[in-house]
Chains A and B, each alone.
Chain A
Amino acid sequence: TQLLEQSPQFLSIQEGENLTVYCNSSSVFSSLQWYRQEPGEGPVLLVTVVTGGEVKKLKRLTFQFGDARKDSSLHITAAQPGDTGLYLCAGFMEYGNKLVFGAGTILRVKS
């Protein structure tokens, strides 16, 4: 059983559409991070959310951390082909000093 459930697994949309990716868990995380990975490269950190209820914006990307620090969402407004990639959420567990990754969402934005 995945500790951090990420959905959807795959998303193919047209340029200009909006989308939301979800990460859910029954566990509480001290922080939650979102990464974006392009083919053949390592993941790149987009944002870290630490406080329950926190909302962070990065241009067209909006990240939210649930009040109970068990879930998070990533919303992209007016998606562009350059947003194509693998999006990964990862929760930090203080026990063991390690990240728990969700399964990832493959996003494809068609022009």
Chain B
Amino acid sequence: DAMVIQNPRYQVTQFGKPVTLSCSQTLNHNVMYWYQQKSSQAPKLLFHYYDKDFNNEADTPDNFQSRRPNTSFCFLDIRSPGLGDAAMYLCATSRESSGAYEQYFGPGTRLTVT
């Protein structure tokens, strides 16, 4: 089945220790997004790729970086995680369909910072 896969589902890292979260998709969608979601809140967009074009949200901290080496894969790098970065990180993909960009989310990676 076509889907959005995130690994790992749970990640524990130490304060200040770099961590990378990964996302892959078999939907062949040209747009990929990374969101941060804290408990029972709406997802907050960090950045997105439209094909290879990288779009950073104005309020995304410099601590967060992203790479998209090809259509299928996208990575979220947190260079120096702080306690406030503990959250669920959601990857999503989309493509244009009848004027709407419907988003398909992965199951998320729950990041804990100790």
List residues of chain A with CB under 8 Å of any chain B CB.
30-31, 33, 35, 40-45, 48, 50, 86, 88, 90, 92, 96-99, 101-104, 106
Contact = CB atoms under 8 A, between A and B. Distances in A.
A51 B72 CA distance: 32
**What class of interface size applies to chain B in its complex with A?**
20 to 34
A88 B104 CA distance: 14
Contacts, number: 63
Given A30-B99, A50-B99, A97-B48, A45 B42 contact: no
A92 B100 contact: yes
B43 A101 contact: yes
A106 B105 contact: no
Interface stretch (B11-19, B77-85, B106-114): B106-114
